[in-house]
C-alpha cells in the first residue's frame, strides 16, 4: 500500500494588497448606501480564493454580484419590515421573526448550497446536498435540546452539526463522508466548561464572602467594596475567557472536521492549535482597536494564512483524482441546470 502524498494548502495574499481592495470596497459601500456590498463581497471572495493554492492551482469563486445582491435585498426588506412593525405593530414583528426562525433551516441549506456551487477547483464545482429536514434537526431541535439540558447535549449538537456539514459536500460527482465519532466532542466541551468555571467560581466566591462578612458583623461599606472588587475581577476574567473559549473550540472543531473528512480517495490533515488562534484573535483585536479598524484586512489575511498553513490534503495522486472526477461528470451528462436552483447569497 503506497503512502499518500501530502499537498499543503498555500495562501499567497498579503495584507497590504488586500488593504487596498478593502478600503475601496468600504468607501464604495458607504457611498452607495450598501448596494456595492454585493460587488465588494464578490471581489473579496475572488481575491481570497485566487490566493489559496493547492498543488500550485488556485481555487475559483464563480458568483456574480447580482446573485449576492438578490439575497441581500430580500434580507434588507425583511429587516426594514421588522424594524417598522416592531414599533407600530409588535405582533406583526413577532410573526416576522417567527417566520424567519421557522425558515432558518431552509436559509442555512440554501446558503451552504450557494456558497459551495460558486466554489470550484480545477474547473470542477463543489456542491452541498444536505436536506432542510436534517438542517432543522441539527440547527433548531438540537440547540433547543442543548439549552433545555443546561448544555449537556451541546457536544452531541456540535458533533451532529459537523457531521451534517462534512457528509453533504460533493466535489464534481464525488461525495464526501465523515468517519468521526462523538467521543472527542465531549472532551472539547468538558475542557471549555472547565475554563468557564473560572469566572463562575470567582462570582460564587464573591457571594460566599459577602455572606461570611455579613455574619461577622462587618460594616456594610466594607462588604460592598469587597464584593465589588470580586465582581470586577470576575467580569474581567469572563471577558478574557471568551476569546480563549472561542479559539479553543474553533481549533478543535476544525481539526475534528477535516481530519475525519473523506472525499473519495482523498483525506485531510488539520493541525490548528488553540494557543495559536488565541494569540491571533487577541492580537488582532488589540491592533484593530489601536488602528481604529484599519488593521481589519491585515487581521483577515493573518487568519487565512494560518488556516492554510495548518491544512494538508492527502492523496496518492491529486491530479489523477481530479481527472477521474471530471470524467465522472462527463459520463453522467453534466451538471444540473442552474435554472432550477433556488440559491440566495447570504453574507
Going by pLDDT thresholds of 50, 70 and 90, the confidence category of residue 335 is: very low
Going by DSSP bridges, is the β-strand pair 124-128/261-263 parallel, antiparallel, or unpaired?
Answer: unpaired
Q: What is the DSSP letter of 58?
A: E
Average pLDDT, the chain: 85
Question: Which residue has cell 471581489?
Answer: 43
What distance in Å separates the CA atoms of residue 230 and residue 221, rounded to the nearest whole number?
14
Measuring CA to CA, which residue among 82, 88, 165 is closest to residue 129?
165
Q: How far is CA 251 from CA 96, 298, 302, in A?
A: 35, 20, 15
Strands (E), the chain: 5-11, 52-54, 57-61, 119-121, 124-128, 169-171, 174-178, 261-263, 266-270, 311-315
pLDDT at 338: 32
Measuring CA to CA, which residue among 268, 250, 247, 246 is closest to residue 258?
268
What distance in Å separates the CA atoms of residue 302 and residue 323, rounded to the nearest whole number?
33
- Give me the mean pLDDT over the 113-134 stretch: 93
**Are the CB atoms for 75 and 346 separated by under 8 Å?**
yes
Using one digit for the tens of pLDDT, what is the confidence trace for 18-56?
999 999 999 999 999 889 999 999 999 999 999 999 999
- Give me the mean pLDDT over the 180-189 stretch: 94
Residues 6+ away with beta carbon under 8 Å from 63? 42, 45, 114, 118, 345
Strand partners, 170: 127, 175
Using one digit for the tens of pLDDT, what is the confidence trace for 255-295?
999 999 999 889 999 999 999 998 999 899 999 999 999 99
Which cell numbers in the block locate residue 218? 462587618
Helix crossing, 296-309 with 15-31: angle to 10°? 130
- Give me the mean pLDDT over the 101-108 stretch: 89
Amino acid at each position: 500500500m503506497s503512502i499518500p502524498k501530502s499537498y499543503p494548502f498555500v495562501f499567497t495574499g498579503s495584507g497590504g494588497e488586500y488593504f487596498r481592495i478593502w478600503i475601496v470596497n468600504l468607501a464604495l459601500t458607504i457611498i452607495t448606501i450598501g448596494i456595492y456590498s454585493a460587488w465588494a463581497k464578490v471581489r473579496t471572495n475572488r481575491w481570497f480564493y485566487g490566493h489559496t493554492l493547492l498543488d500550485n492551482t488556485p481555487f475559483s469563486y464563480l458568483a456574480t454580484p447580482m446573485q449576492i445582491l438578490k439575497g441581500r435585498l430580500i434580507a434588507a426588506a425583511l429587516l426594514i419590515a421588522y424594524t417598522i412593525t416592531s414599533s407600530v405593530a409588535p405582533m406583526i414583528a413577532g410573526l416576522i421573526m417567527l417566520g424567519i426562525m421557522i425558515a432558518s433551516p431552509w436559509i442555512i441549506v440554501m446558503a451552504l448550497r450557494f456558497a459551495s456551487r460558486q466554489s470550484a477547483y480545477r474547473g470542477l464545482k463543489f456542491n452541498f446536498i444536505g436536506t432542510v429536514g436534517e438542517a432543522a434537526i441539527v440547527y433548531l431541535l438540537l440547540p433547543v435540546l442543548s439549552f433545555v439540558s443546561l448544555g449537556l447535549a451541546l457536544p452531541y449538537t456540535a458533533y451532529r452539526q459537523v457531521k451534517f456539514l462534512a457528509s453533504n459536500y460533493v466535489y464534481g460527482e464525488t461525495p464526501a463522508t465523515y468517519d468521526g465519532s462523538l467521543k472527542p466532542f465531549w472532551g472539547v466541551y468538558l475542557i471549555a466548561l472547565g475554563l468557564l468555571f473560572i469566572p463562575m467560581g470567582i462570582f460564587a466566591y464573591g457571594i460566599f464572602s459577602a455572606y461570611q462578612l455579613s455574619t461577622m458583623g462587618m460594616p456594610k461599606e466594607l462588604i460592598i467594596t469587597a464584593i465589588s472588587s470580586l465582581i470586577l475581577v470576575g467580569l474581567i476574567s469572563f471577558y478574557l475567557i471568551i476569546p480563549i473559549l472561542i479559539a479553543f473550540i474553533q481549533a478543535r472543531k476544525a481539526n475534528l472536521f477535516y481530519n475525519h473528512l473523506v472525499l473519495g480517495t482523498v483525506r485531510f490533515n488539520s493541525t490548528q492549535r488553540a494557543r495559536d488562534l488565541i494569540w491571533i484573535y487577541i492580537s488582532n483585536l488589540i491592533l484593530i482597536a489601536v488602528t481604529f479598524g484599519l488593521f481589519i484586512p491585515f487581521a483577515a489575511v493573518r487568519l487565512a494564512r494560518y488556516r492554510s498553513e495548518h491544512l494538508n490534503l492527502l492523496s496518492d495522486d491529486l491530479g489523477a483524482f481530479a481527472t477521474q472526477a471530471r470524467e465522472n461528470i462527463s459520463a453522467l451528462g453534466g451538471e444540473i441546470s442552474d435554472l432550477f436552483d433556488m440559491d440566495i447569497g447570504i453574507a
